[in-house]
A and B are shown apart, each in its own frame.
Chain A
Amino acid sequence: MAEGSPAKQPEQPEYIRIKFNLPRPYNWSTGRYLGKLYAEAKENKKLVANRCPKCKEIHLHAPTPVCPKCKVDMGWDWVELPQTGTVFQYTYQVYPLWDPHVGGIFADPHPPAIILLDNGVYLRHRLEETDTKKLKEGMRVQAVWEEDYEKRGQGFQDILYFRKIEE
């Protein structure tokens, strides 16, 4: 990153540097609503989201007790989402950046994408294809699940990525 040249900066002495890494563990709860998404993913390899009784909008990111737009209690109305869709938009990381959830520099080789599932709901996820020249907006894709039951239980991450559907 380019350095600025501040108007006043004293002669740079030698600084003592002490690196301080302190991992900070958390036990987050998914709660009931996101918990249902996790349970369906783990047990049944299904992707579910809840639907607002008033505006009928489906909330995938994330299932929630209150509809963000109508501000009404969502109740408990769940829909199963299709596992196929089209790539609405994608991008790819060139410069590795720090990911606090991994605790280090992390450049995921799988391009992040916004996938328009076949029922009109947008899902942010990854694409399997790492060769960026082969990516195209509008590609038809399909969810690829983690098949090992023991390894599932990561919610959205139980889907490893979306794979191009060969026509």
Chain B
Amino acid sequence: MAVRTAIVGVGQTHHTTKRNDVNVAEMVGEAVRAALADAQLSVKDIESFIFSNMEAFEGILLPDHGIIAEVGAVGKPGFKVTGGGTTGSEAVGEGCHMISAGLYDIVMIVSWQKHDCGDATAGISAAAVPTFAKGMVTGAVSEFAKQALGYMNESGAREEHAAMVRLKADRGACRNPYSHLKLGLTSVDEVLKSTYLVWPIRLYDFCPQSCGACVIILASEKRAKKIHKKPVWVADFEVVHQEPFRAGSFGDPTGTETYSQHVACERLYKRNGITDVRKQVDLAEIYEPSTWEEISLYEHLYFCEKNEGWKLIEKGVTEIGGDFPVNCSGGVLATNPIGATPVIRIAEAALQIRGDAGEHQATRDIKTAVATALGGPNWTALFLLKRSL
């Protein structure tokens, strides 16, 4: 749908394992201030707030209510969204709706997760059907493990290819001041030494639990250009849910089912005349909780043909200096505060389009980017961002 809403400010905290030095509100406040500074707006200019956070990870009820004062929302309208991994995307999407509807001109999207308050695996395991899930689910990890097995069998990819994905992510993370895991890895062998969590997913194949917040300020067309020299346009977005696959959560090992990514891409690419993603889009920030998921997403997002994803990473196509850079920021593999992660993808893609990504700026000029999110079970959010409409 044509939204004509622009991103006029982004802000993040320095994502990390533990933020013992701040409480939730203070942590979120850091990102709010950063975004306001980026947009050169005052908190008074924000007309409405949309919050993105998953209650399970901090073990609370109504998480938005606890931080109202610190984000400047007292006396303002707003609400919180719940949607699993895609929550942040829904929040940005709703912000675009509220602005396109003519209800507000400036909306702040506030997303965060402070994983040191709880246990992420426990929180994710609690997404299983409560009546029969005991002992059956080991969080997201076992689901990704099954996906990895299926992919290796079908495509001929090897564990080395997953290791290459981690190395690319780590290089990006080490260039990105905000990212969480900066491991300083130097070789495939080093990655292959890390312990298995649920075979064949190793520790290094998987994302961390991060404490962090990310804030995006959206503005209507008529206000955007007055606020920021380089507004980044949300040209279109699509969020697609799906029934769990019959034989998997994040992947279909039977090879017979349609993925929500396919549906989202077919709709959004068609609406925007995109027939060759790697030619018509310059960069992607994708939501890859595991190295194997990144390789799969290359295929499901139509960056390449089926079973060819591992070749893109092997050939360096998706490196920061490559033809189609993916996750120059280090991606989810380096940083994952669940409520904030989809918003970070959008914020990072926006920074790339603005040319403001500093050391992790892609080599090519980025005019158009896609940002994705992944929720359980394999829900997809897909955003198309542009320098000019």
Contacts and interface: CB of A to CB of B under 8 A. Distances in A.
Tell me, yes or no, whether A and B come into direct contact in the complex with CB atoms closer than 8 A: yes
Interface of A: 1-10, 12, 15, 22, 26, 28, 30, 34, 61-62, 68-69, 88-89, 91-95, 97-102, 106, 108, 112, 114, 116, 121-122, 124-126, 132, 154-157
* Residue with the greatest number of chain B CB neighbours at <10 A, chosen from A2, A30, A61, A114: A2
Range, interface on chain B: 35 or more
B182 interface: yes
Given A4-B182, A68-B243, A95 B134 contact: no
B126 A100 contact: yes
Nearest to B133: A101
B253 A157 contact: no
Interface string B180-210: 1111000000000001111110010000111
Given A1-B209, A28-B130, 11 more contacts: A2-B181, A4-B181, A6-B14, A7-B177, A8-B14, A91-B149, A98-B121, A101-B126, A114-B146, A122-B247, A156-B136
B121 A97 contact: yes
18 contacts: A1-B209, A4-B179, A4-B181, A6-B14, A6-B16, A7-B177, A9-B21, A89-B248, A92-B199, A95-B195, A97-B125, A97-B141, A101-B126, A102-B134, A114-B247, A155-B132, A156-B136, A157-B136
A115 to B, nearest CB: 9
Contacts of A15: 20
A96 to B, nearest CB: 9
Contacts, number: 136
Contacts of B130: 26, 28, 101
Interface of A (DSSP majority class) = loop
A30 B129 CA distance: 10
Contact of A94 (B20, B180, B195): B195
Contact of B198 (A3, A26, A91): A91
Contacts of B180: 4, 6
User: Which 4 pairs show the lowest CB-CB distances between chains A and B?
Assistant: A101-B134, A68-B243, A98-B122, A6-B14
Contact of B122 (A4, A10, A100, A124): A100
Nearest to A3: B17
B322 interface: no
* Residue with the greatest number of chain B CB neighbours at <10 A, chosen from A28, A34, A112: A112
Contacts of B248: 89, 114
B177 A2 contact: no
Given A68-B243, A114-B253, A4 B15 contact: yes
Contact of B135 (A5, A28, A34, A101): A101
B136 A89 contact: no
A167 B142 CA distance: 30
